[in-house]
Structure 1
Amino acid sequence: MTALPALQAVGLSKEFRGFSATKDVNLDIRQGEIHAVIGPNGAGKTTLFNLLSGFLRPSRGEVRLFGERIDTLAPHQIVRRGLSRSFQISSVFSSLSVRENLLAALQSPTPLPGQFWSSRRKLAPLSGRVDEIVAQVGLEPLQHRLAADLSHGEKRQLEIGISLTQNPRVLLLDEPTSGMGSEGIARVTQLVREVAAGRTVVLVEHNMSVVSTLADRITVLQYGSVLASGSYQDVSRDPRVIEAYLGEESE
């Protein structure tokens, strides 16, 4: 028997006052793969991520996580079913340290959500998991530094760490290498490869070098619709994709 897709979009459409941001998007993300979503600016990539993660409700269509329909659920309910995401714009608590950001995220499924005034004794059971995550995302030397003092790339590492606090089966990453230099891109690319072990990763990414390095399969969006889907080799040779997106990168 074929395994259920980890994540599915079925006829997914979103309209804003008559404007179609996504139109009848069908997407099957296989369990355990790294799947990239690419396309020109305005293609509907972030809207698609917002629909998949519950931050927007579709005008039509469904989203399914391991076969369960989730598009009617709130974002926190979707997280608890195993889907976490990062955002295109950094979203960390700047006045908290790296460890404190992770502790705040780890509290969410406990009886202490958001109680920043909780004593260290109450939070002690979470300390071991924080140690694991800071090591996994490469922030051990910076774990006591304020998030405001991190570089852009280090904040991206922290955001991925925050996403991992919920032990996701599916992880959505929105532009994880955006705005980085070559060193930061290499570091985050390696981190994505590592966190993908044992889970499914979907990423929106403009850097085609990163996409070709990481992605098992690619879906190309244009004007809110799926233009092509397949391996990097197949998609990169598609004349429609070259005209719509890849050609822009080589100009």
Structure 2
Amino acid sequence: MKNIFFLLLPLITFSQEKSVLITYKVLYNTELPTTKNGYLYVSSNQKKTVYITEKIGNTEENEDYEVDITVRLSSGEKGYNFFDYENDILTTKDDILKESKLIKEKIPDFKWKLLEESKIINDIRLNKATCYFRGRNYIAWYSTDTAIKAGPWKFQGLPGLIYEIYDETKRYNWFLQQVKSTSYDFNSKDLKYNNQEIISIREYADLKFNGKGLDPKTLTRLPRGAKVVSQKSFRTGFEIKFEWEEETKEN
């Protein structure tokens, strides 16, 4: 699939605005292909970023399908990835079954490999980098032509702005569409915890993949025609194998 994106502002002057909004086109080539808009807000001092997505629609529908219940059920609340670089904390709001959860972890180390390969798109030179992160191999194309060092979802740590990133199977894909100055309230009540329970990334993985959150009431919420597959044998999503699982395997 050929993807085209448009760069509006190759150079950003942070002093002029409170934050920068970077918009991505997000393509999920999964069992139910989905297209989303991804919005990355970067604070003027780059010490905080917030990434949220907005669903555009499914490219196809099928009533008789096998489905990972952790993906299909939704709480209806908007999720996000909130980076606090000063305190080295990443807080993610995500759904497990029908419940919205706050997951806290240290900012991940992607261990990028910077390659010599590059390409030119819209007169912007993009450099190639690769990494393995939580069960998937990713390919990124980034530019050092701006002062911004950020990317969509949890992707960060490269010496520039990520323009394209996708896993090697092209199951999950992000393509930069627009960069513009804007304002964003990083102290918004939407980012406040409001006494909501915070769980660790290990607890999140346990609930999502080991079936500890599954009960009979949950089964009644499944879409008509959906068949529950084994949570322990079938994993889907961006993160399918975690650091402590890799360590156990090595030992």
Q: TM-score, normalised by structure 2?
A: 0.24
Structure with the larger RCO, 1 or 2 (CA within 8 Å, 6+ apart)? 1
Structure with the higher fraction of residues in helix conformation: 1
